[in-house]
Each structure stands twice: as structure tokens, then as C-alpha cells.
Structure 1
Amino acid sequence: MPPAPDAAQREAARTLEVTKRMRHAEEAILARAPEHDLQPSLDRIQAVMELLGDPQRTFPVIHLTGTNGKTSTTRIIESLLRELGLKTGRFTSPHLHTMRERIAFSGQPISAERFLDAYEEVLPFVEMVDARSVADGGPPMTYFEVLVAVAYAAFADAPVDVAIVEVGLGGSWDATNVADGTVAVVTPIALDHQHFLGDDVESIATEKSGIVKPDAVAVVGVQEPEVAQILAERAHQVGARIAFEGNDFGLLTREVAVGGQQLSVRGLGGDYEELVLPLHGAHQAHNAALAIAAVEAFLGGGEQRLDPEVVRAGLAAAASPGRLEIVRRSPTVIVDAAHNPAGALALRTALEDSFTFARVIGVLAILKDKDATEMLEILEPVLDHVVVSRTTSPRAMRPDELGELATDIFGEERVTVVADLPDALDLAAGMADEGGLGGGVLATGSVTTAAEVRMLLGTTEV
């Protein structure tokens, strides 16, 4: 008889089996309609949740929407709550490297085993709802809807003390909105995804205001007056309290520091001094103020001051991969997931504010459904030269097309078109190094751009 497998062999076999099952699950989920191809409705996700026994109602939720800053604010809130000793679940999108990043427990991506347990729990009900929807002439559930179902089932099974949940798109009909947040956080609202959300900020704000639920506390970042009015009206309609940055809470001071910035913040329940945030840019400072107010609202209705030492530790531990993230030195390479004009403006401001490169070479790859022209115009003053390329995303704009737009804005001498991103990155790094002038590389244009450059440079931790 052959010898019985030892413990190491058994573990290797188990790991291989889990890897295979995870690959099959990912392939099945990816075969569904992608996030940008959807029919606005909560009917399908609500049906699955009801069949599962509404797991999203078994834990409290802090729910976030807005146009930019959602993921960073979500992660800062999570860091603060973890420092307070709570078991957290986090749901964000899109991911950088693996869909498991979207679902996190206590700051770490869900394990393959835990993901599979939740996926296999929800799959029969997803298939039932798919069949019913198709029979009625509707679509099966989307990629995003399935991941929301998996996340809520996993959070309930853990269980978590609180889930911090970022919407995927919009608010009212976003699949995450089957949960009712006790705190609704609204980061600054600007134009994006107009084909789904509307062609003006009022329409977009109306859609996003749908996450503000009865008896909740709405914590709102700096907004245009018309947006603030819409959010205030929504809070009044549903009987929610609302707190605005700049009125009820906000930044008191901010100074650029080594590796980030130092802040003092007026929260809803008190002031917090000498806070170190290891993230770059004024927009991240505002995200931190929003996060502190959200945690105050969650724990004491905004009426109690948090332990200042806990706040200091929570902010000091905050991270936001792919957001003004330095992923290499000599030359310095920064990746940023800016994918719309508002994000590009925050990026430009932060670059001017926090970095002192002798010259900056941009590596730009933008999706074809984005306002590339306005993004290029915003970034032009801070980029000495741009290397235009594309990512592997099927939504990526062709390099020659993006190059033409860039040439109109930067001039022919400041634009180079390189078809493949690895070659574009190598060329940009060489240009930044020329003459030993302390140059840097900025890779941006989409979440996919940030993710692929991170991976090319050997960074995959999140």
C-alpha cells in the first residue's frame, strides 16, 4: 500500500482544491453583466436577500456614496473603528487586483475559503432569482449584485460588529442599498456616470441621496449649494439628522508633513489635535474629517467626543492603495486611480501641494467612456511630458485616439504614444531619470491603470 499522505501533503492538496474552486467561482461571476452594464433596479438583489433571510439586517451599516473619495473615506472609517476594538466588515469597489479585496474583515481581504462558503450559500438563491427574472423578460443578476449578496452573507456569518459599505454606482437603486445605514456618508458630488445618473449634479445628488434612510444620521462633505439643498430636503423628508462639513464639523488646520500630513479636526463631538494622516493631498484631509464625524455619529449620535488617542492611532494606521501611492523609488513612481475630472483636479492639487519633483512624466491610460479631454486639460500644468498608453481593460481608450487628444492639449513635443503599458512605464521612468534631476512618474487615468502599474512594479498588497 502507498504511504498515507502527511500533513503537508494534505494541506497542499486542500490549498489546490480551494484555488480551483475559487477560480471557477470567479469565472462564473465574471461571466455576468459587468458593473457598467446594468438595469437600475433593486428587485433582483432584494429577492435574493429575502430568500437568505435578510442577512444585511443583522448588523449595523455605515453607508457611503459620493463621486470621489468614497473608498479612501471607507478605509479611514474602518481604521478608526478597528482601533476602537470593533470587528469590521468592509465593502468597496472596484478592486485593484482580485475581487476578494472588495470584501474585507478587520482590514484584510476575505479569504478564499470564506468567500467560497458565502458564495455557495447564496448561489442557489441567485439562480432562482435569475430564472424568475429571465422568465419575466428581465436580465439575470449582474456581477456587482452577486458580490453584494456574497458580502452581506459573509458579514452576517462572521458576524461583524459593523459593516462599512461603499455604493457601487449612485445610491437609490445601487444593490448595496438593500441595507439601511444608521449613518449615511456623502463625499463631494460631481459629474460622473452621466449615462446612468443624469447630466447635472442635481440629478446625480437626487439619486445618491437615496442612501439617507429614516432615523439615520447623514454626514455630508463639502458640496455645491444646490447639492446641499437636495440632501437637506431628503433628510427632512425621511426624518434623518444631517451634518455638513464646514458647518457642523471640518478641518481646523492642515500642514504637509513627511509621508503625509498633520491635521487638527473639529468633529461633531469635540476637537482633535495633532493627527498624523499618512495620505497625501488636501482631499484626503477632508476625507479624514468626514470619517471622524461618521464614527462619532455611529457611536454616540455625534454627541460624544471620541478618545483622541484612539483617533490618532486610527488615522495613523489608515491606508488607501492606489490613491497617490508611491510604489517605487529612483525614480519615484506614484499611482493614482483618478478616473474623472473631479478626481484629476484633486490629484493635480495634491501633486502641487505634497511633492517637489524637478519634472513629472505622466503615464496616462483612460477609459473610453470618461471625459478624457477635461482630465488632460486639468493635468497639463503639472506634467512635463505624457506617455499615452492603454490598460488591458476592454473599456480602455485606444492609445492613438488618446494621443491625439493629448497632442491638442500638450503639444506634439510633450506627447509620446506607446501601445503597451509596460513599455510606456519603462519609457517614462527613463525620461524621469534623465539628467539626474529628481524626476518622478505619475501613472493615472483609471483604477485599472493604478492596479496594472502596481502589479508591474511588484506591489499587490491591499
Structure 2
Amino acid sequence: MITAFDDALQWIHNRLSLGIKPGLQRMEWMMEKLDYPERRLKAIHIGGTNGKGSTVAFIRSILQETGYEVGTFTSPYIEQFNERISVNGQAISDEEIVELVNIVKPLADQLEQTDLGAPTEFEVITAMAMLYFAKIHPVDVVLFEVGLGGRLDSTNIIHPILAVITSIGLDHTHILGETIEEIAFEKAGIIKGGVPVVSAVEQQEAKQVIEKRAKEGRSSLYDLGKHFTYEHTRSLPEGEEIEFQSVYGDFKGLTIGLRGNHQVSNASTAIMACLYLKKMYAFLIEEEHIRKGVQNTQWPARMEFISDRPPILLDGAHNYEGIQSLVQSIKTRFPNKKATILFAGLKDKKLDKMIPLLDEIAEEIIFTTFDFPRAAKEEDFAVFIGDHRKFIADWNTYIEERKQQTGETDLLLITGSLYFISAIKKCFNN
């Protein structure tokens, strides 16, 4: 029996060596042994390439304003592991992690002896979350963020009351497929028969895949541009201002609490989801809850200023589409300013496509690395070195030196892998 939190966490993280094993059979096996906790949940399933975490945050904030107790399952974590399983934004305790591990570990050991093989890290964490929200700390509604893809993702054993798809992009192509259509097929796998779906997908070829899936499952589809729209009216110091229109209601002068042009779409998607819950499931959501909810939304490492003097901006733009959104947001907010960019990414991402985009807003790009198996190293960045680009191994010392040199009007933008951003946040918190 495990008694210490560090030992429980080590057992979980040691399962990273098992890699990614798409499929639902191991999850179904564990759910049966746990007496099907996933069947007790009133859940909303959120998938997509980018924007999942922010959309979860917007929905949670709106529902909290109404007085509902909201569970969330998200990944990866930014500051501490426990935040992956949270209630009303508060991470579960170390003691609860230990309790959950002691329930799930014997099952994982038993499962390893079967033909299905050992469950992965993500699978055991997903099982822990479902057990927690079903039996240990039941909540009014749970928001489950998809880990990877959708169709074969561990979270896809739930039967939600609503599915949400935020976006489609060319990420994880070695697993999900090389084309937008192939990736859309995997993302659309979270659409269950008869379960409605809210989609903010923009590419026509992806829309067709989602429409086909929804039609086959007789699922009502609420599509961005058809059933709900938005207008980005202006950027504010603390967020963005938008107007929202939908089949269930319109709102003018909404202020959202997250910065960035892309957050306008995420907030609008969340609002549409909440309006559906109000209309079809009698959730007690009023206009004031929506206005306060989107305004009060906070989510770490999304255009987050971690220092004002000097200005240091943190953003977890970890793939091509994320970098596109970040660049556009920087151009909007700082039209006459070039930034110094500190970037660390994963070697399996499309660095050759991501880095040229950063040139559009960069005075200088500093590449670095961090302690993570898939982190890009100096040799991976070698082809990009030159002109205003260079590599520095010790990012901690570099940041400390920049903090002394950067003036009030300069901007240091730290971006890349969310695992790198997590290390940055820990450094600043300490």
C-alpha cells in the first residue's frame, strides 16, 4: 500500500515509459472492475486540436457563476499534477491522489497480466478522475478534456450530455493522420449517437466530416458560422471584447478574461454550449452568469503576463496552429513592437513550420531546451541558428539576466511546449 504522495506520483509517472496506446479496451476493463463509475457522471466532452483547456475554463466559470459544482479533467498540468483533477478550479489534495492510486494500482497490476497489457499513465489518471467524480467527490457536472484525438482516447468511454469540438489542426499527425479529413475523423469520434455537438471547426473539409458523423448518429449539430457567430470588437488590457449571436440568444459588449484573438472563438463556443444546457437540460443559466463567467475566466499560460516590469508574456503555443494564433494576437496587441522570444519545443512537432512564423514578430529568437524526453535539443535547433536566432542552454540564467536588462517598453515572450511553460511557472513561483 502506498502512503506517501511522492510515491503515488512516482508510480503514475513511471507509466510514461509505456508510451501512448490508443484504444478503449483497457479502460473498459478497469471501468467494469470499478463498477462503471463513468455511467454515474453528468459529463461534457471537449475535444479539438487547440483551445480545449480554455474552452473548459470558460464553461466552468459560467457554470460556477450559477452555483453549480463543476469537476474538470484536463491535461497537461501547468503548476502541479493535482490540478488535472479539480473541483471549481481547486485541485484535489495529495491525500486524495494517494487514495485513488491505492484503488487503481491493484487493477493496473492485474490488467498487466492479461492480453490487453498494462494501462498507460493517461489511462490510469483518467480512471482515477472518473472514480473521483463518481464516488469520492460527486459533482453536478464534469468537463472532460480529450487527451489525444478523440475516437480512441481514454476519455471516450463516457456517454456525455454534450460534445464540444473546438478546432482541427495538423498536430500529432503520426498518430491521427496526415490530412485535415483524417484528423477530423478522429476528433469527431467523441460524437455519440443522439448526443448533441457544438463545433467551432472552420475548415470546410473538416466540417463535412463532423456533419457526416453527426448525421449518422442523429446528433444535433450547432455549428460556428451557422448556429452561432461572434465579432471581435476590440482588445482590452485584461482580455477581449466581443459580440455574440446565436439561435438561443445574443449578447453585446461581452468582456472575456483571457487575452488573444483565438480566445474569442473559445469563449463563443463555451457560451453556445452553456446556452444549449439552459435550453435543453434546464440548467439555471442567466445572462448575468454568462457575462460574469466569461469575464472572470482565468487559465494559466494563455497570453499571461508573469511580470509587468519588465513585461514578460507567457503562452503555451505548442503547435503550428497555436503559433499562428499567438503571432496574430501579438500583432494586434503590440502592432509597433518586436519581441524577444524564448522558445522551447518538442522534437516531434513541426518546428520547420512553427519557427518561421515567429520571425514575423521577433527581434530575436532564443532557442533553449528543458528536462523532458521529447524536448528538442541544441542539435534539433541547429538548422535554424543564424541571423537573429541562437541557442542558450541555461534558460533560467537567461531570464534572470533579461529581467535586469529589459526596459518597460520591451517585451520578452516565452512560448513553446506546455511542459516547458510548466517549468517556467515553477521557476517564477519559487
Please classify the TM superposition score into its range, dividing by the shorter chain length. over 0.9
Q: CA deviation at 1:252?
A: 3.4
Q: How does 1:14-413 map to 2 (within 5 A)?
A: 21-33=4-16, 37-132=19-114, 136=115, 138-157=116-135, 158-301=137-280, 306-355=285-334, 358-402=337-381, 404-407=382-385, 412-413=386-387
What SS does the aligned partner of 2:346 have? coil
C-alpha distance in structure 1 between counterparts of 2:66 and 2:127, whole Å: 27
Task: Judge conservation of contact 1:400–1:417 (CA < 8 Å) in 2.
Answer: no
Q: Offset at 1:306?
A: 4.3
3-state SS, counterpart of residue 33 of structure 1? helix
What is the match of residue 415 of structure 1? 389
CA RMSD of aligned residues (A): 2.0
d(CA) in 2 for partners of 1:59 and 1:171? 18
> CA distance change for structure 1 residues 51 and 371 in 2, over 3 Å: closer, same or farther?
same
Q: Distance in 1 between matches of 2:364 and 2:396?
A: 17
Worse-matched range after superposition: 185-194 or 248-257: 248-257
Which structure 1 residue ranges, 5 or more long, are not aligned?
1-16
CA distance in 2, matches of 1:302, 1:377: 46
How big is each residue's C-alpha offset from its partner over 1:287-331, in whole Å with a ceiling of 9 and x where there is no partner? 000001111222323999941111111112101101111111221
Q: How far apart are the structure 2 equivalents of 1:38 and 1:358?
A: 41
Report deviation, 1:222.
Answer: 3.3
**In structure 2, distance between residues paired with 1:265 and 1:196:** 36
- Which residue number corresponds to residue 449 of structure 1? 420
In the alignment, residue 319 of structure 1 is paired with which amino acid?
Q
Q: Following TM superposition, by how much is the alpha carbon of 1:126 offset from its aligned partner in structure 2, in angstroms?
A: 2.5
Deviation at 1:261, TM superposition (A): 1.3
Structure 2: how far apart are the matches of 1:128 and 1:184? 32
TM-score, normalised to structure 1, is: 0.89
Cα displacement string for residues 117-143 of structure 1 (whole angstroms, at most 9, x for unaligned residues): 2232233222222222xxx2x431000
The separation in 1 between residues aligned to 2:404 and 2:283, in whole angstroms, is: 53
Partner SS for 1:190: coil
Q: Do the aligned residues in 2 keep the contact of 1:296 with 1:305 (CA within 8 Å)? A: no
Unmatched runs of 5 consecutive residues or more in structure 2: none
Matched to 2:108, the amino acid is V
Structure 1 position 392, deviation (Å): 1.2
Q: Which amino acid aligns with 2:127?
A: A
**Offset at 1:354?**
2.1
Cα offsets for 1:310-364 (capped at 9, x unmatched)? 1111112101101111111221111111111100000101111123574311001
Residues 250-291 of structure 1: per-residue CA shift (max 9 Å, x gap): 213421112111122113410122221121111101100000
Q: Alpha-carbon deviations, 1:9-34, whole Å to 9, x = none?
A: xxxxxxxx99x611111111111135
- Structure 2 distance, partners of 1:139, 1:424, is 44
AA in 2 matched with 1:28:
W
Which amino acid in the other structure matches residue 394 of structure 2? D
1:425 to 391, 396, 399: 399
SS at match of 1:370: coil
Q: Which stretch of structure 1 is more off in the superposition, 147-156 or 306-315?
A: 306-315
Taking the aligned partners of 2:371 and 2:141, their CA distance within structure 1 comes to 36
Q: Output the CA distance in 2 between the equivalents of 1:324 and 1:117.
A: 35
User: Secondary structure of the residue that 2:30 maps to in structure 1?
Assistant: helix
Residues of 1 paired with 2:117 and 2:16: CA distance? Answer: 9
Q: Would the alpha carbon gap of residues 331 and 359 (structure 1) be closer, same or farther in structure 2, given more than 3 Å must change?
A: farther
The number of aligned residues is 429
**In the TM superposition, what whole-angstrom CA distance separates every residue of 1:423-455 from its partner, at most 9, and x where no partner exists?**
232354456x2xx46101111111022112222
Alpha carbons 1:333, 1:443 under 8 Å: kept = yes
Contact 1:267–1:289 (8 Å) recurs in 2: no
CA deviations on 1:399-418 (whole Å, 9 max, x unpaired) are 2431x3333xxxx2312311
Please give the alpha-carbon distance, in whole angstroms, between the structure 2 residues aligned to 1:443 and 1:257: 21
Residues 347, 380 of structure 2: 8 Å contact kept: no
Inter-partner Cα distance in structure 2 for 1:86 and 1:207 = 31
Equivalent pairs: percent with the same residue? 31
Deviations 1:190-242 (A, max 9, x none): 10101110111111111111100111111000321110000001001111100
**Matches of 1:212 and 1:55, distance apart in 2:** 20
Most deviating of 324-333 and 171-180: 324-333
Bigger Cα Rg: 1
Write the letter of the residue equivalent to 1:224: Q
Matches within 5 A, 1:428-439: 428-429=402-403, 433=406, 436=407, 438-439=409-410
CA, structure 1 residues 380+305, in 2 after alignment: closer, same or farther (shift >3 Å)? farther
Which region of structure 1 is more displaced relative to structure 2, 230-239 or 306-315? 306-315
